[in-house]
Amino acid sequence: MPIDTRVETLLIKAREEVYTLLSGNNFSQMQGEGYDLSEIREYQVGDDVRKINWIITAKMRKPYIKELHSNRELSIAVAPLMDGSLYFGDTNNKQYTIAETTALLGYATYKNSDIFTGIACRQEQSIYRAATKNIYSIESFVKRLYRYDTLGTKLAYTQVPQEIFARLHKRSILFIIGDFLQEIDLSLLAQRHEVIALIIRDRGEEEVQKMGEVTLQDPSSHRAMDTYFGQKSIQRYQAHLAKNDQAHREHFAKYNIRHLKIYTDEDILSRLMELF
């Protein structure tokens, strides 16, 4: 496979930023519960029934228990949400930003000698990188994110939490990265992990301009529609987007999920530092 200079440049830039600007065990400075104290797993015969977590048991339809253990290492998990909505206009800058964000988190995890897990959710089977401390495994995961052709794909958002839950057994700091233009219920994941939602947006999605007569195409289904996109269309679109974003904020607040919005033209590491 020929060298993709853009993704190689992305990795070099991310690595230099982390090693130059990020000092100390920054993940350990993040607020939250003791990551080394609890783990949730499926119930096994002989387990104390008093340890059963009834909320997760109800959601998964099988018994789960909370188990105490001692572990000094942090587990950092990154779960990008990958489908056609990452295309806006004629670019996939949101996908590039997700790949760069994942690279920054991966290098920071490696630098702190913590454990990295990657679960990229997509229409086909997820791109899964099992728990690792290998820098080349982290870089390989980022490259696969960058190269994956999202155009024409649609993610089943209702199935995402269950898939991540089944893959990620160890209590983790879990970064869910996507544009959050669709409804997604993260309550199940918040029962086991500290969940942080990173919302990746293009400014043009929120600061829409009049286009007049135009053909709009859905990047997930390729369905096209001829329409007139004027001021009234802009108002309806922005009202729908505001309602969507408000619903997400209420959901995040209800389940103690911290969130951060990152635009494709921003310095990503500077924005991530707001979490540390």
Each of the 276 residues of the chain gets a pLDDT tens digit; together they read 455 788 999 999 999 999 887 655 455 444 444 444 456 778 887 777 778 888 888 888 888 887 655 456 789 999 999 999 998 867 789 999 999 999 999 999 999 889 999 999 999 889 999 999 999 999 999 999 999 999 889 999 999 999 999 999 888 999 999 999 999 999 999 999 999 999 999 998 888 776 666 666 666 766 766 666 678 878 888 899 999 999 999 999 999 999 999 999 999 999 998 887
Q: What span, in angstroms and rounded, lies between the C-alpha atoms of 11 and 101?
A: 10
Output b/e per residue, 41-75; b: 16+ Cβ within 10 A. eebeeeeeeeeebeebeebbeebbbbeeeeeeebb
Contact 146, 209 (CB under 8 A): no
pLDDT for res 67: 67
pLDDT for res 31: 42
pLDDT for res 25: 46
- Fold classification of 5-36+71-275 is Rossmann fold (3.40.50)
Q: How many CB atoms are located within 10 Å of the residue 244 CB?
A: 14
pLDDT for res 253: 97
